[in-house]
Structure 1
């Protein structure tokens, strides 16, 4: 059982690496390592949810209830703070880091999906993110858009 759980965390880390690769290549504030850790951490927290509840119930603690939605909410709040840290203003009318913040948020979602066993959804979402970051980013640069892509 624990190896399959570790496999989920490792898969989430690998998918996070795919998303973080483009950020790393573009030399953005949150790159490969950050995305790997966000994906793995999100999956880990969800994988741990049920065993932690079971452990409390074995000890006779009936007041502990399982609610995976609260775990997801906590992950989202934490990731939002991390993402906000990558956004900064440059001059009067330029904001940097929005795409990086969005990619961190999406990586957390991918980790959550893997953590609850929805790995095909996580894989498809990762491939979609890859297309958006590489292909759409390339198209924006080709069109002369000078943005944080």
Structure 2
């Protein structure tokens, strides 16, 4: 098999897998975005990124490639924010907001997909570890301490 094809499969497959791993937590928490959605978010970010950096004529022009990569990252991260915004619910009367963690999860999953496309494997591994620590470990701490604290009188 062609080594470039293998590299493409590795990058895109890892992006989908990373998104799905993050999505497991969202599915277990019965959130509106889960494994499939976050797998697609990461995969989509990786496809756009990889398509930009694999454009043949750019390889010979590092300055142009740098600008293209910057533009791709900016566009993905700004655009994905709209999907995240769609899961945020606000009740101004009750002073209550829901969905912020899910929105942030969509955003960070896109970032992980970009890192997969750029083959920044150490960033993918450390980033995924921190995402899981924040979603699972910190949630456990929040639940543990919220049981001990008295209810807010408001």
- TM-score, structure 2 as length reference: 0.82
Asked whether the 8 Å contact 1:20–1:36 carries over to 2, the reply is yes
Q: Which residue of 2 aligns with 1:8?
A: 11
Rg (Cα) greater in structure: 2
Runs of 4+ that moved beyond 4 A: none
Q: Supply the distance in 2 between the matched residues of 1:6 and 1:73 (Cα, whole angstroms).
A: 24
Q: Cα RMSD over matched residues?
A: 2.0
8 Å Cα contact 1:15-1:123 kept in structure 2: no
Unaligned segments of structure 2, at least 5 residues: none
Q: Which of these residues, 14, 21, 26, is aligned with residue 23 of structure 1?
A: 26
Q: CA deviation at 1:3?
A: 2.2
How many Å separate the matches in 1 of 2:58 and 2:116?
24
Q: Is 1:130 equivalent to 2:136 in the alignment? A: no
Q: 1:92 aligns with which of 87, 91, 94?
A: 94
Match of 1:35 in 2: 38
Distance 1:50 1:110 in 2: 16
For structure 1, the residue ranges without an aligned partner over 5 or more in a row are 58-64
CA deviation vs aligned residue, 1:19-60 (integer Å, no higher than 9, x gap): 111111001111111110111111111111133x32699xxx
Distance 2:136 2:38 in 1: 16
TM-superposition CA deviations, 1:35-92 (whole Å, max 9, x none): 10111111111111133x32699xxxxxxx5410101111112210000001011353
Match of 1:70?
Answer: 71
